[in-house]
Amino acid sequence: DWVSARQVEFDRHAGHDRLRASTLTAPPPDLPMEDYEMQFGVGVIGATGFIGAPYRSEIRESKNDARIVALCARRRDRLEAAAREDGAELITHEWREVIEHPDVNLVVVATPDALHHEEVMACIEARKHLFCEKPVAANTEQAQEMATACRSAGLASYVPFWTRYVDVFVQAKEVVRSGALGQIRAVIYRWHNPRPASMPFTWRDDAELSSAGSIADVGSHAYDTMRWILGEEATRVLAHADVITPAKPDLGAIDLAEAIEWGQGHAASESEKTRKGTAFDFADIAFVFPSGIVGSLVLSHAPVLRKGLAPELEFHGTEASLAIDRIRSTLTIVRPDQDPEVLAKVPDPGFGNRFGKHVFPALRAQLAGETTEHPDLEDGLRVQMFTDAAARSARSGSWVRLAESTT
């Protein structure tokens, strides 16, 4: 095909290996020139990891929207394979080279949480549009600076809070907003993402690289889902958090996909070198919304907290209660003095191509000045305010008010 047929050659530049391809002089034969000229030129930082690899696959499939230009990752063998898959003009271990590439106008930031701020601010300075993985930063101050700078520069941004696109949650939002539950008074949310008991240590277990462990990892999705459905921002939180998983095998710098695969095929051994995680893998967070809604959010990556025993999310109102069970794809309603009733069984077709269906349309809508419900850096900031407050509360053992935003 038009990608694999391109001539690939190695050269040396500034002391770093770079993989270049000959200049593309024509679009794929099935792509109209006018559509090709509207494509995003994408650079991916963290291109070959657990998150970056599937994102690249979806971008490759979206030929009318984008082409992959430049890739950055730390492992040379993976970079070379990725370049062959993507037809990338550049591979590098230096993320700034991706941002500086003249054909890149959209950068996907898929690196560990603590690295996002510097990379995103460099993108904004270079006037590149942004896709930034959540949590968007290490703390609220960084997230605030990123969101403000992006807005001031007039750049488009996207933060992947994918739960907004799960059909059972979309229908749940419609039920809540319809008033069928009456005035919402309480919310219960359980988000368990158990990892294999013998899974090795990764950067997600390291508090120096992970924003706040499970609080920021799955908690960011959970909080965004609640604020998106309710249309409110929490005002204060009280959290207990801990590391409840025993020390893990330490295999060095491996990514999450490798760690999960290894963990599924091995049992923990006393002879292996181990490392105790420092990032929270369990949290129980009480929260309050300004309308008086109270709630509890339980988050975990620990192997012993398994999902599927209870609905993931419950809304309790003055007229009825609603339970969302993502595993069984059901919405169940309970009215006073009545038995539970399955309100809807919602088929789950999966996400499909998230970039083609959501990301690229969202970015174009922003550039056209349209208002959408797609999440961006402003949403990333609001979520960071919640996860930061929860992490501070866990460390202090007291109620913490969410920081005020200047946006």
Q: Which residue has the tokens 């959501």?
A: 358
Q: What share of the chain is helix, strand, coil (3-state, %, to 5)?
A: 35, 25, 45
Are 117 and 142 a contacting pair, CB within 8 Å? yes
Query: Is the alpha carbon torsion for 352, 173, 382, 308 positive or negative?
Result: negative
Residue 275 forms beta bridges with which residues? 248
Which tens digit of pLDDT belongs to each residue from 306-337?
A: 999 999 999 999 999 999 999 999 999 999 99
Helix axes 140-153, 377-396, angle to 10 degrees: 170
- The two beta strands, 274-275 and 330-334, are unpaired
Of residues 305, 195, 307, 300, the one with CA closest to residue 248? 195
- Distance in angstroms (rounded) separating the CA atoms of residues 111 and 350: 25
- pLDDT of amino acid 265: 82
How confident is the model at residue 22, as a pLDDT? 26
Residue 38 is predicted with a pLDDT of 57
Report pLDDT digits (tens) over 193-220.
998 888 999 989 999 998 899 999 999 9
Q: What is the CA radius of gyration of the chain?
A: 22
Integer Cα distance of 380 and 159 in angstroms: 6
311: preceding bond cis by omega (within 30 degrees):
no
pLDDT of residue 34: 38
- In this predicted structure, what is the pLDDT of residue 18? 34
Q: Which residues contact 72 (CB under 8 A, 6 or more apart)?
A: 43, 44, 45, 46, 47, 79, 91, 92, 93, 94, 95, 97, 98
Residue 129's region, left for phi above 0, alpha for psi from -120 to 50, else beta, is: beta
Neighbouring C-beta atoms of residue 31, cutoff 10 Å: 15
Sorted by sequence, the CB contacts under 8 Å of residue 330 that are 6+ apart come out as: 168, 323, 324, 342, 344, 345, 346
CA–CA separation, 216 and 185 (whole Å): 25
pLDDT score for 33: 34
d(CA 327, CA 210): 27
- Sites in the chain below the pLDDT cut of 70: 1-38, 268-271, 405-407
**Cα–Cα distance measured from residue 63 to residue 83, given in angstroms and rounded to the nearest whole number:** 16
d(CA 355, CA 28): 20
